[in-house]
Structure 1
Amino acid sequence: MNLPLWCLLITALLPFWLAFWGSSVRRREFGHLDNQHPRQQYAQMEGKGARLWAAQSNAWEALALFTAGIVAVQTTASGGWLADVACIVFVLARIGHGLCYAMNLATLRSAIFCVSLVAVLCLFATAFL
């Protein structure tokens, strides 16, 4: 498996990591996990738990765009080292994005989001070249 596909795997696992982290916060906040109505329980969360829920949702959304970028690079057999660097930057940025969401660092989170977006645009650019 090449580096972009490894990065895709890591990116696909990020929402699950955020979900597990959010579940531990949810358990602490409510004293239990409501597995019958978890989304309703998440909707009642505040603070760190609510931010982790939002980070998880954002991670799913980012996964779609990153997947499209990887598909573009893989189907055109292009990219090389630039695609590899863009993939690594994207993964590191998305990990940082989730951490910033949890720690309530909104401005830094937004800046990191922009970095991850530029990384995906770079993937598409390498596919077009």
Structure 2
Amino acid sequence: MLPYACAWIAKSKGFGKPRREGGFDNHDPRAWLSRLTDWQARANAAQANSFEALPFFIGAVIIAHQLAAQQAVLDILALLFVTLRVIYIAMYVAGLPTVRSAIWALALLVNVGILFLGWR
């Protein structure tokens, strides 16, 4: 659900306003999104990155399950990954690129840990 939360954040200033006044344009949403600036543009970029991170996370969790990883450890790592991604989004929208990149790297390492959790 994180990518959808990012999309809502990106579009939030345009809700309820007519298109002619800069409101969200559901007729041509991609063009409207491409004109966003500042925190709205960063929220839209966080949405794209969240969708990009999702397949690796899903794959890692499925592989860990198939390799009979310890469920409690898998749950903790999955929760840690999601928590780090929430922090990542907050740092992205806030415009803190160095902290954002560090959080991204930590989340990636947690995901790699999930991937190899069932390795024996």
Identify whether the pair has TM-score above 0.5, normalized to the shorter chain.
yes
Q: Alignment partner of 1:35: what SS?
A: coil
Scaled by the length of structure 2, the TM-score of the pair is 0.89
List 4+ stretches of structure 1 deviating above 4 A: none
Asked if residue 18 in structure 1 is aligned to residue 9 in structure 2, the reply is no
Q: CA RMSD in A?
A: 1.5
Asked if 1:102 is matched to 2:93, the reply is yes
For residues 106 and 83 of structure 2, the distance between their equivalents in structure 1, rounded to whole angstroms, comes to 10
Task: Determine what percentage of the aligned residue pairs are the same residue.
Answer: 28
- Aligned to 1:77, the other structure's residue is in SS state coil
Q: Pairwise mapping of residues 42-61 of structure 1 onto structure 2 (< 5 A)? A: 42-61=33-52
Match of 1:91 among 68, 79, 82: 82
Looking at structure 1, the residues matched to 8 and 57 of structure 2 have their Cα atoms a distance apart, in angstroms, of 22
Q: Which amino acid aligns with 1:15?
A: P
Aligned partners of 2:64 and 2:116 also within 8 Å: no
**Aligned position for 2:103:** 112
Amino acid at match of 2:74: A
Unaligned runs of at least 5 residues, structure 1: 1-12
Deviations 1:21-53 (A, max 9, x none): 11103447x631100111111111110111001
TM-score by length of 1: 0.83
